[in-house]
Amino acid sequence: MNRLTLIGLQVLVAVVTLVFWHIASTTTLIGNPKTISFFFAEPLAVGKRMVQWFMEGSIWYHLGITLTEAALAFIIGSLGGVIIGFWFARKPLLAAVFDPYVKAANALPRVVLAPIFALWLGLGIWSKVALGVTLVFFIVFFNVYQGVKEVSPAVLSNARMLGMNERQLLRHVYMPSALSWMFSSLHTSVGFAVVGAVVGEYLGSAAGLGYLIHEAESVFDVTGVFAGMFVLMGFVILVDWLVTLVENRLLVWRPKTSVISNR
Amino acid sequence: MTIAQTTTSDLNEAHGVNAVELNGIRIAFPLPDGGTYEAVGETNLVVSDREFVAIVGPTGCGKSTLLNATAGLLKPAQGQVRTFSKPLSGLNKHAGYLFQQDSLMPWKTAIDNVAIGLEVAGTSRREALEQARAWLGKVGLAAFADRYPHMLSGGQRKRVGLAQVLIRHPKILLMDEPFGPLDAQTRLIMGDLLLNLWSADRKAVMFVTHDLDEAIGLADRVIIMSAGPSSRIIGNYTIPLARPRNMADIKSEPQFHEVHREIWNALKEEVLKGYRQTEEVQS
């Protein structure tokens, strides 16, 4: 199958879904259109609402807030994960002592922390950043830890025989290996940073996409909820695409990605 | 060239000295059930400076273990490793080690992999890259400098590995079945390449292989080891073939066959016994 037919088929899925949605919510073919459009909104109205948001420009403010929160959560969580991950991997005793506590902390569903963070850090962006950090940190931490542990023994012995000291091993062997693991989890960790931001906003805030959806929901404005969800979807897809670009650039030495980008 | 000078003077200084002495070493590993597995029984081996020694034995007989002990990656349970008349402590700084497995850093290009050995020793990056380029040329990979290891064939990766080790001018070269995974033709080519590079600047070489042909073709001396556990040296043969040698041609020379037959006749019984032992242990 060539690329064009694939894209054609992908677009077809969207068109069929939208047409079905439109027919169901405006004609009597499936059921009472009033009931259906109350629960599921109308696609045209949703589209109009999104256009209106972008034309007025109000949406940019909310997008900017959510993006800032997600970016801060990602940066702080990743830094923490890399540093602690390295530290634990190089100090097995430390890792063994803290192992049950790390597992316990990771087992906790992070949503329950949102009220605590709101209490500690207020309703501004930092309570959302904190929620995102708790999600991102563990993903990066476990991947970096694994990456340091899983360095091929042959590569490690070879680097030692080439005269590397501890610091040089860290820079030329452990770091690249750990980062490659971290980058392969980039999609997940970036996704979780956005989840943290949106869930935090949803549970209590005055700005952001989560806030927008929550506000619409509280007045049964289903059109607003769906419009918010679609903007959020588009936003996440865009971020994911950027991550793919970064990943292809950074992991050029890895067999799979480089074949796609070089050939 | 400062490096060439130091190497020459070091070689002169070390001339007539034993590069490696394994004095009654035994190597054992702890087993999960609490016991120990003796991989190598009491072994004595001397490799003089500038000598090419091949170590042959069945798979799993502890040949690699012997190299690891010489490299300082492994501490013998008993006995002493000496290198250039000094007891070895920590890693063997005189040794370059070409491993059996792929051991290039996959995140570095070929030229960076070769240059790194100089860079970590404090050579400036520009100088290191320049020398690395020259070494890639010597192993016939000048055009592949910017490729990552996964873009190279198995043989090309071994060439990069060889350049990576040799650029540091080690006085002892340890090679653990370096051409094992390659096809027969590539092995011949790599053997010739190794002999060429070695004859330009003779180092002490310990070359582990399971291929008697390859061992005779390359080495000054062939050491035969019995099958494990507690494997030991069961044969020590000086190879009288003249140098320079050519790996493909040498196999058609009558002298090669004489040597081969002599070693094989003497060892057949012992080697087959060793294999039977291993099979009994395994079954």
Smallest CA–CA distance, residue B150 to chain A, in Å, is 6
Task: Please provide the DSSP assignment of A13-55 as one string.
Answer: HHHHHHHHHHHHHHSSSSS-HHHHHHHH--HHHHHHHHHHHHH
Return the pLDDT at B32. 86
Q: Among B91, B100, B149, whose Cβ lies nearest the Cβ of A160?
A: B91
Chain A residues with CB inside 8 Å of B73's CB?
A: 157, 160-161
Domain check: are B89 and B185 in the same one? yes
Smallest CA–CA distance, residue B269 to chain A, in Å, is 35
CB contact under 8 A, B105 and A168: no
Which residue blocks in chain B are alpha helix, DSSP H? 2-14, 63-71, 110-119, 125-138, 154-166, 184-200, 212-218, 247-250, 254-282
Question: Using CB atoms within 10 A of its CB, is residue A26 exposed (0-12), middle (13-18) or buried (19+)?
Answer: middle
Domain check: are B235 and B134 in the same one? no
pLDDT(B1) > 60:
no
CB contact under 8 A, B101 and A252: no
Chain B residues with CB inside 8 Å of A254's CB?
A: 106, 150
pLDDT(B115) > 90:
yes
Return the pLDDT at B275. 66
Average of pLDDT values for B185-210?
89
Return the pLDDT at B270. 67
CB contact under 8 A, B105 and A176: yes
Residues written for chain A: 263
Query: Residue B190 contacts by C-beta under 8 Å, 6 or more apart in sequence?
Result: B155, B158, B159, B178, B179, B182
- DSSP type of residue B226: -
Domain check: are B149 and B193 in the same one? no
Q: Which residue of A has its CA nearest to B103?
A: A155
Return the pLDDT at B135. 93
Q: Among B73, B107, B117, whose Cβ lies nearest the Cβ of A162?
A: B117
Chain B residues with CB inside 8 Å of A160's CB?
A: 73, 91
B61 in helix, strand or coil? coil
Q: Which residue of B has its CA nearest to A263?
A: B151
Q: Among B91, B101, B148, whose Cβ lies nearest the Cβ of A258?
A: B148
CB contact under 8 A, B103 and A173: no
Question: Using CB atoms within 10 A of its CB, is residue A165 exposed (0-12), middle (13-18) or buried (19+)?
Answer: exposed
Asked if B140 and B159 touch (Cβ cutoff 8 Å), the reply is: yes
Give which of A161, A166, A173, A183 to mutate to test B binding, by max B Cβ within 10 Å: A161
Domain check: are B74 and B190 in the same one? yes
Domain check: are B188 and B152 in the same one? no
CATH number for the segment(s) A43-262: 1.10.3720.10
pLDDT(B14) > 60:
no
The answer to whether B117 faces chain A, any CB pair under 8 Å, is yes
- What is the number of structural domains in chain B? 2
CB contact under 8 A, B71 and A152: no
Q: Write out pLDDT tens, residues B26-62.
A: 988 888 888 888 888 888 999 999 999 999 887 767 8
CB contact under 8 A, A162 and B106: no
Give which of B88, B91, B103, B151 to mutate to test A binding, by max A Cβ within 10 Å: B103
Structure tokens at B33: 């059930």
The residues in B 134-163 lying below 8 A from A, measured between CB atoms, are 148-151
CB contact under 8 A, A163 and B121: yes
Q: Which of A197-211, B3-17, B207-221 has the lowest mean pLDDT?
A: B3-17
Return the pLDDT at A110. 86
Nearest alpha carbon to residue A77 among A139, A30, A120: A139
Domain check: are B193 and B181 in the same one? yes
Residue with the two structure tokens 């696609």: A43
Q: Which residue of B has its CA nearest to A154?
A: B103
Q: Structural domain boundaries of chain A? A: 1-40, 43-262
Q: Measured between alpha carbons, how far is A75 from A38 in angstroms, rounded to an integer? A: 40
Domain check: are B255 and B243 in the same one? yes
Q: How many CB atoms lie under 10 A from the CB of residue A140?
A: 27
User: Number of CB pairs < 8 Å for A and B?
Assistant: 69
Return the pLDDT at B271. 67
CB contact under 8 A, B99 and A158: yes
CATH of the domain at B43: 3.40.50.300
The answer to whether B106 faces chain A, any CB pair under 8 Å, is yes
- DSSP type of residue A110: G
pLDDT(B10) > 70:
no
Q: Which domain holds residue B114?
A: 100-169
Return the pLDDT at B281. 60
Q: Among B102, B116, B121, whose Cβ lies nearest the Cβ of A172?
A: B116
Domain check: are B77 and B199 in the same one? yes
Q: Measured between alpha carbons, how far is B45 from B223 in angstroms, rounded to an integer? A: 9
Instruction: Reply yes or no: is the peptide bond before residue A43 cis, omega within 30 of 0.
Output: no
Domain check: are B116 and B186 in the same one? no
CB contact under 8 A, A155 and B106: yes
pTM > 0.95: no
CB burial of A60-98 (b: ≥16 within 10 Å; e: otherwise) equals eebbebbbebbbbbbebbbebbbebbbebbeeeeebeee
| A120, B18, B101, B206, B264 from B58: Cα distances, Å | 68, 27, 18, 16, 13
Domain check: are B30 and B90 in the same one? yes
Return the pLDDT at A12. 96
Return the pLDDT at B274. 66
Q: Measured between alpha carbons, how far is B50 from B11 in angstroms, rounded to an integer? A: 9
| A83, A90, B250 from A148: Cα distances, Å | 12, 8, 47
Amino acid, single-letter form, for residue B64: S
Residue with the two structure tokens 């000078």: B5
The answer to whether B99 faces chain A, any CB pair under 8 Å, is yes
The answer to whether B164 faces chain A, any CB pair under 8 Å, is yes
pLDDT(B278) > 80:
no
Give the helix/strand (H/E) hosting A114.
Answer: helix A113-121
Using 50 as the pLDDT threshold, list the residues of chain A that sit under it: 257-263
Asked if A238 and A152 touch (Cβ cutoff 8 Å), the reply is: no
Domain check: are B42 and B159 in the same one? no
Chain A residues with CB inside 8 Å of B121's CB?
A: 163
The answer to whether B275 faces chain A, any CB pair under 8 Å, is no
Instruction: Reply yes or no: is the peptide bond before residue B87 cis, omega within 30 of 0.
Output: no
Structure tokens at A12: 């077809």
Structure tokens at B99: 């491993």
CB contact under 8 A, A253 and B120: no
Task: Please provide the DSSP assignment of B108-169 as one string.
Answer: S-HHHHHHHHHHTTT--HHHHHHHHHHHHHHTT-GGGTT--GGGS-HHHHHHHHHHHHHTT-
What is the ipTM, given to two decimal places?
0.84
Nearest alpha carbon to residue B97 among A170, A168, A155, A149: A155
Domain check: are B108 and B164 in the same one? yes
Chain B residues with CB inside 8 Å of A172's CB?
A: 105, 108, 116, 120
Chain B residues with CB inside 8 Å of A162's CB?
A: 116-117, 120, 164-165, 168
Q: How many CB atoms lie under 10 A from the CB of residue B257?
A: 12
